[in-house]
Amino acid sequence: MTDPAEVRKNTPGRGVTPTAHEISPDAPEEFGLVQVWWGDGKGKTTAAMGMGFRAAGHGYCVHMLQFMKGGADSVEAVRGEYNAIAAMPGFSYENTGHYGWHGLADGSDDDSHQANAKAALERTFELLEASADADLSGPIDLDAPPEDGVHMLILDEILYAADQELIDDSDVLEVIDRAPDRLELVLTGSHAAPEYVYDAADLVTEVTKRKHPIDAGQRARRGTEY
C-alpha cells in the first residue's frame, strides 16, 4: 500500500501545510479597484465572499451589504456564510433585502423589494462616506463597525437590483464614482450584461452556466447554496 506521506512529498507543495499566522489589523497596499461579477452561473456571491475572507485573513476590514438575497422555501434564513462571517475577525455583513425574489410571483411584495433596495442604496452611500473619512492606508480595528470605514466593500446583488429596475443604472455608477480611492469595491448580480458599468470597472467577470442541477429539479442544498 502506498504511503500517503510519500505521495504528498511528490506534489508541488511537497505536502507542506503552511502555518497560519494570527490575524492582526493591517492595511492593503494596492486596494482601490472596482470588480464586477455577473452572469447566469452559480458562484458570483461565493467568489465575492471568498475574496472577502482572503482580505480579512490578512487583517483588512471587509463588509458585505446584500441588496437582495431571497430564494426558494428550502433556503434557511441563517445561511452558512453568515455563521462563517460572524466568526471571522474584520468581516461583517448586513442584509437589507428580504425573503423571496422580485418579479417572480413568489408571494413577496414587489413594492417592498423596491423600498428595501432604495434603503440599501442609501446605506451604501453612508458606508462610502465613512470609508472616505477613514484612513484606509492604515489598519482599522477588526472589532470596529463598518461605520468606521472598511478596506473592501462587497455590494451583493446590486447589479440584479438595477437589472430589475429597483434602482437605476445611474445609481450604480454614482456608487462607483463616490468610492474612495483606496476602497476595493466588489459588485455582484444580474443575469443580463451590465454594459453600462464596464467602462467604470477594472475587472469584469461573467460567470456562465453550462449545466446546473436546478434545471433537473435539484433544490438548494445546505452547505453549497446556503
What does pTM read for this prediction? 0.87
Q: How confident is the model over 40-78, as pLDDT tens digits?
A: 998 999 999 999 999 999 999 999 999 976 544 556 666
How high is the pLDDT of residue 72?
47
DSSP sequence for the chain: ---HHHHHHTSTTTT--PPPPPP-----SS---EEEEESSSS-HHHHHHHHHHHHHHTT--EEEEES-----TTS-SS-HHHHHHHTSTTEEEEE-S-SS-TTS-SS--HHHHHHHHHHHHHHHHHHHHHHHHS-TTS---TTS-GGG--SEEEEETHHHHHHTTSS-HHHHHHHHHHS-TT-EEEEE--SS--GGGTTT-SEEEE---S--GGGGTPPP-TTTT-
Over the chain, what is the mean pLDDT?
Answer: 87
Q: Report d(CA 3, CA 23) in Å as an integer.
A: 34
Which residue ranges make up each domain of the chain? 27-216
How high is the pLDDT of residue 74?
54
How high is the pLDDT of residue 140?
98
Task: Tell me the average pLDDT across 143-163.
Answer: 96
How high is the pLDDT of residue 216?
78
Which one is the CATH code of 27-216: 3.30.413.10, 3.90.1150.10, 3.60.15.10, 3.40.50.300?
3.40.50.300
Look-up: residue for cell 489598519? 139
Better-scored residue on pLDDT, 185 or 103: 185
Instruction: Tell me: pLDDT of 158 over 80.
Output: yes
Q: How confident is the model over 28-43, as pLDDT tens digits?
A: 999 999 999 999 998 9
Res. 222 pLDDT band, cuts 50 70 90: confident
How high is the pLDDT of residue 201?
98
Res. 211 pLDDT band, cuts 50 70 90: confident
How high is the pLDDT of residue 69?
66
Instruction: Tell me: pLDDT of 14 over 80.
Output: no
Q: How confident is the model over 73-124, as pLDDT tens digits?
A: 556 666 778 899 999 999 999 988 655 555 554 445 566 778 888 999 999 9
How high is the pLDDT of residue 111?
64
How high is the pLDDT of residue 183?
98
How high is the pLDDT of residue 109?
54
